[in-house]
Structure 1
């Protein structure tokens, strides 16, 4: 339900009206409460208005009205009811006639007839002039007079809001220029209906539903260019106002890069996006990096299967540049949040940056964000520490890995095993099999049994290294530890010594 400070969602609105072009009469239906003004009563009220203006007017039969299709309908979350059509007095008809003559100011006419018009009749005046073929500006002037006379109750405000929604929707559907839609919002402000964020949100949604994304972007730019003020429906800044909502719509469609570039471009063009829109764009950076990482994993899988050629140095360089550009945008957005936002947002900023660096596989930068989060009082989850540990291990960042492992001293037994498993898989992913073997032996020493696939991967990696470099010490030592832990049975290791060109059999 709408209020004086907000607009009802178009999908929830319930009064339908249509224009009968041949007689310029209108019927009003409602369904918000599952009640309905009868067509007969609507027809009678419209006929009375037309007959007052033209005594020779003959109303068509009710069955004829039923034939008209509601081709220009709008649902409004407002309804007008009357127990008896005679409740509408002659003052209503006089007021409409006088206002249509336009010989005097609307405020003068209404002031003169103030005592003769009920609140319901004034609402009917608003609806009458809001329809196609009528002077819509007159409806705005009538509402402005009502506001100044302090006669705008909740129902009247809801009605005027619904009328404005219908005008905006009609402009968009008929392909009017974006400036016309913004002009209407300015007119709303002139009569005390300041566009709330929900109204601007509806306009953007209408453009989106019609496949007019570019016009939706132009609309937001025009709103910003004119400096039109709006009220936030959500005090927490949900969706970040026009720019944030636009970026959110793009992100919801999977256009993560477009959402990021939109916010960055508008900021660099001299506009000032809402702080929350920067956080939305940072989320889009995370999602884009995540999707990019998934695509890369699939690509490498195809290459291993021989379905495509291996990535060459130029491909790798382009991949790294794409990730670096995205990260640069993310850092830029984070700086704007810190610059324009409150200190309470710093934890959220570092959390987004951490997610970016994890998705991009940047271990050192990710570790730094873990520390930054801790400094601002927002401790990261233990799982995030383990993920960063694995990334640093895969890149053989010894110092960072050592620092992250220091947390294990106060961890539970279960958590220690989990962290060491992440460390092991990080070494395996990076191809650092000597360090992986040492990690397996350390786990066995602490009483933890690594997963079978992890053990097998380490042994396989070490065997390949023996073939390349001939160093067997680590392999023999790991086999001995695994055998002692009953993870492999007694085995014979065949070693070929090149110097003497002979095979040596060693029992473990």
Structure 2
């Protein structure tokens, strides 16, 4: 904050020095944009311009600033003599704008003061004067909501002209700094507009450079109009833009790069980058499932050791980035964000299939008062079952002791599917029997998958006890019809036919 105030004081001093260069003149130089907005001056005419009253009275609604919602042709009738005199006096620059306006305060209506702002915001006029007029209005408490919206619109138009005119990014940042000097704190929407303009023009590197400049100068902005759930200021908004286009990895790299460069991105930008990590991990998981399906169908080769290692490293690097971002949120953010951090970490570990880490985040969320949804517990339970993490499964199943029958069936079904996915068919069979003992009937496809898995194991290594036990139990529950089990016992070279 102290640095920002220092910049503001220095900027004001520069403006004061430049301003006094014009005191005593009978006109103003067309290159006298004291606040550094050359795009708004008539650069092609370096001579002094003496403004005549007839030229002022020919003032009409113009097209250089898009202000249709504020200025219409009907406003011409509202321009009294005081308005034209004020314009002429301000154009001469013989006195401070504040002195001129103070002297004519009683003769100018609120609407005329707005039109003075509009007049000096035209292309070819002195934009410095428009900012001085606004500053005086603010000090006199004459800035209502409509006037503020008008000045914001003017500022946005100036920003657009600078960007479309391919001016230096420093000029755009200077404009934001100068607007803050006159009491017009850059809003979130103004930052958003600058980034969007560069983005839409395909100047993505300039958008990144603009964000860096904003962070370097520590420009303070208003977040009142960030109605979309805190996009995180300029850094977060740019990261969000990248994420929307599917550039998840670039979004993460941007935020980490800015932070490691000694800059200080907004805390919410870390959360946005964590969301990008989750999305990238999810895309990676979907791609791997497709490749494995193609490999099973014989369309592509199986992953070799090198490829598996590269995939695991990429996933581990993403998770490491996510953990680093979470640490920054906890270090720099308020405790109210801790639940969101653990929620993002939970999503990361679920997408990467890391059961124990995911289970830990469930309990971390509970400790900070942000209870996870029951479905998330079930998903983590299934992951732990696929990895046969017995202790984690036992802890997670304690929730089902006080659950309703419907909720209990859903949780045990997830447990069953986890065992099936991991190839743990003995545990899967025990889960089916447990469900039957509780009066819960597993889904047909789940039962069939367990029986099929046990049959394959019998063909490969023998051992029929679990299979027979499950078949008997399913038959007792009327979930399987009478069947014949054919077994070839190699040791005795006999066929045994058993009726179930």
TM-score tier by shorter-chain length is: 0.7 to 0.9
Q: Residue deviations 1:351-376, cap 9 Å, x none?
A: 22111111111001111111112222
2: distance between equivalents of 1:376 and 1:149? 48
1:156 is matched with 147
2:207 is matched with 216
State yes or no: 1:135 paired with 2:126: yes
Q: Normalising to structure 1: TM-score of the pair?
A: 0.82
2: distance between equivalents of 1:380 and 1:54? 69
2: distance between equivalents of 1:165 and 1:268? 31
1:388 is matched with 380
Q: How does 1:248-259 map to 2 (within 5 A)?
A: 248-259=240-251
Residues 425 and 240 of structure 1: is their aligned pair in 2 closer, same or farther, counting only changes over 3 Å? same
Maintained 8 Å contact 1:366/1:388? yes
SS in 2 for 1:423: helix
1:33 is matched with none
Q: Residue deviations 1:446-465, cap 9 Å, x none?
A: 22221111111112111221
**Displacement of 1:123:** 2.6
1: distance between equivalents of 2:465 and 2:442? 21
Aligned partner of 2:435 among 440, 443, 458: 443
Maintained 8 Å contact 1:197/1:233? yes
Aligned partner of 2:458 among 432, 456, 466: 466
2: distance between equivalents of 1:118 and 1:377? 55
Q: Residue deviations 1:61-101, cap 9 Å, x none?
A: x9xx9xx9x6x55245423575773x533443343333333
SS in 2 for 1:238: coil
2: distance between equivalents of 1:448 and 1:259? 46
State yes or no: 1:351 paired with 2:343: yes
2:390 is matched with 398
Maintained 8 Å contact 2:65/2:121? no
State yes or no: 1:144 paired with 2:145: no
1:457 is matched with 449
Q: Residue deviations 1:123-173, cap 9 Å, x none?
A: 322222211112221222232333334443443333222211110111112
State yes or no: 1:168 paired with 2:159: yes
Q: Normalising to structure 2: TM-score of the pair?
A: 0.83
Maintained 8 Å contact 1:392/1:401? yes
Maintained 8 Å contact 1:394/1:432? yes
**Displacement of 1:417:** 1.5
**Displacement of 1:297:** 1.4
2: distance between equivalents of 1:99 and 1:318? 68
1: distance between equivalents of 2:398 and 2:103? 84
2: distance between equivalents of 1:73 and 1:141? 18
Aligned partner of 2:474 among 477, 482, 486: 482
**Displacement of 1:113:** 4.1
CA RMSD of aligned residues (A): 2.8
**Displacement of 1:188:** 0.8
SS in 2 for 1:506: strand
Residues 76 and 226 of structure 1: is their aligned pair in 2 closer, same or farther, counting only changes over 3 Å? farther
Residues 381 and 110 of structure 1: is their aligned pair in 2 closer, same or farther, counting only changes over 3 Å? closer
Q: How does 1:204-243 map to 2 (within 5 A)?
A: 204-233=195-224, 238-243=230-235
2: distance between equivalents of 1:118 and 1:419? 71
Aligned partner of 1:198 among 164, 184, 189: 189
SS in 2 for 1:231: coil
2: distance between equivalents of 1:159 and 1:104? 25
SS in 1 for 2:369: coil
Maintained 8 Å contact 1:172/1:181? yes
Residues 154 and 80 of structure 1: is their aligned pair in 2 closer, same or farther, counting only changes over 3 Å? farther
2: distance between equivalents of 1:109 and 1:419? 77
Q: Residue deviations 1:261-286, cap 9 Å, x none?
A: 22221111112222222222222222
1:178 is matched with 169
Maintained 8 Å contact 1:53/1:97? no
Maintained 8 Å contact 1:224/1:271? yes
1:329 is matched with 321
2:80 is matched with 89
Residues 299 and 128 of structure 1: is their aligned pair in 2 closer, same or farther, counting only changes over 3 Å? same
Residues 316 and 163 of structure 1: is their aligned pair in 2 closer, same or farther, counting only changes over 3 Å? same
Q: How does 1:8-87 map to 2 (within 5 A)?
A: 52-53=53-54, 74-75=66-67, 77-79=69-71, 82=74, 85=77, 87=78
**Displacement of 1:226:** 0.8
1: distance between equivalents of 2:295 and 2:165? 51
State yes or no: 1:295 paired with 2:273: no
Maintained 8 Å contact 2:215/2:263? yes
State yes or no: 1:279 paired with 2:279: no
Maintained 8 Å contact 1:204/1:246? yes
Maintained 8 Å contact 2:114/2:147? yes
2: distance between equivalents of 1:52 and 1:340? 58
1: distance between equivalents of 2:107 and 2:179? 27
SS in 1 for 2:384: helix
**Displacement of 1:235:** 8.7
Maintained 8 Å contact 2:65/2:122? no
Maintained 8 Å contact 2:65/2:154? no
